[in-house]
Amino acid sequence: MRKYLMAGNWKMNKTIPEAIALSQQLCNYYNREWDKVDVVLCVPAIDIKSVHTVLDFDKTDIELGAQNVHQEPSGAYTGEISIPMIKDAGCTYCIVGHSERREYFGETDEDVNLKVKELVLNKVNAIVCVGESLNVRDSERHIEFVTAQVRAALAGLDVEDLDKVVVAYEPIWAIGTGRTATPEQAEEVCAAIRATIAGSFTQEAADSVRVLYGGSMNQGNVDSLLAMQDIDGGLVGGASLDANSFKQLIEAAAKAS
């Protein structure tokens, strides 16, 4: 039985005081029902320490994640942060290969693969993002495209490493656009991702790996998306920036559990 995971991606939002306020509000909302769901806040690097202090003080099970990391443990990489740094600051998760990083910062499948390998080696959960552009979707090559991204991201991993991997299917045309994939469109790709993992590793591993949907998830569509067999939660951008709206999504996942 896979446990739902609801991960908030704050992107480049929230100053330190705002991050403290938002995480504190979520801690105030937290109740035992939320234990049915894994909840993670993927916050800007500068907010990690402060949010960790809030989460630690309130003793909830809400976990903390980074949004990107460099694969080298240290060195002359101005502006980057390393896995030992995020781990030391309290992160148990890290997003890798978000489409915005691929598009605006030139991250390649090879970069994503290096980061995933180092994260699992360091026992940090990798939320590996994959997803097609509208062009690819319109030309009906989305399954081929996304499954190739999955194979590239997970290349060279051992089957045991997969318990530190979450895959997030995020069609680029649905991110921040208010245009959500239909549950059937999302399910088709999430099922193909699981089948790809079964083909590259084992069916047992594929049955345990969590596959999330991301792309304008909100209160209006969360129930129908989570009702799909191969969707095990959400990577949530916009709707995670407000405590009340993210709470509604977490509670929808708890109810669906």
Q: Give the residues lining the site for ligand PEP (CB under 6 A).
A: 9, 11, 170, 175-176, 214-217, 235-239
Residue 187 has a CB neighbour count (10 Å cut-off) of 20
Q: Cβ of residue 123: shortest distance to ligand PEP, in angstroms?
A: 24
Looking at the Cβ atoms of 50 and 216, the one nearer to ligand PEP is 216
Q: Cβ of residue 254: shortest distance to ligand PEP, in angstroms?
A: 19
Looking at the Cβ atoms of 67 and 201, the one nearer to ligand PEP is 67
Closest Cα to residue 188, out of 257, 137, 239, 256?
A: 137
Beta partners for residue 7, in sequence order: 40, 235
Q: Cβ of residue 217: shortest distance to ligand PEP, in angstroms?
A: 5
Looking at the Cβ atoms of 217 and 225, the one nearer to ligand PEP is 217
Answer yes or no: 142 catalytic. no
Closest-by-Cβ residue to ligand PEP is 237
Quote the tokens at residue 109. Answer: 């499948």
Q: Which residue in the list 63, 107, 170, 251 is annotated as catalytic?
A: 170
Q: Cβ of residue 148: shortest distance to ligand PEP, in angstroms?
A: 20
Q: Cβ of residue 95: shortest distance to ligand PEP, in angstroms?
A: 8
Beta partners for residue 82, in sequence order: 70
> One-letter amino acid identity for 49?
K
Answer yes or no: 170 catalytic. yes
Q: Which residue carries 């129930």 as its tokens?
A: 223
Cβ within 8 Å of residue 4, ≥6 positions away: 36, 37, 38, 226, 232, 233, 253, 254, 256, 257
Looking at the Cβ atoms of 233 and 237, the one nearer to ligand PEP is 237
Closest Cα to residue 119, out of 47, 63, 55, 68?
A: 68
Question: Contact, 30 vs 53, CB < 8 A?
Answer: no
Q: Which residue in the list 63, 98, 107, 118 is annotated as catalytic?
A: 98
Looking at the Cβ atoms of 18 and 72, the one nearer to ligand PEP is 18
User: CA-CA distance, 165 to 173, in Å (whole number)?
Assistant: 24
Q: Which residues of 48-79 are buried (b: 16+ CB within 10 A; e: fewer)?
A: bebbbebbeeeebebbbbbbbbbbeeeeeeee
Which residues are part of the catalytic machinery?
98, 170
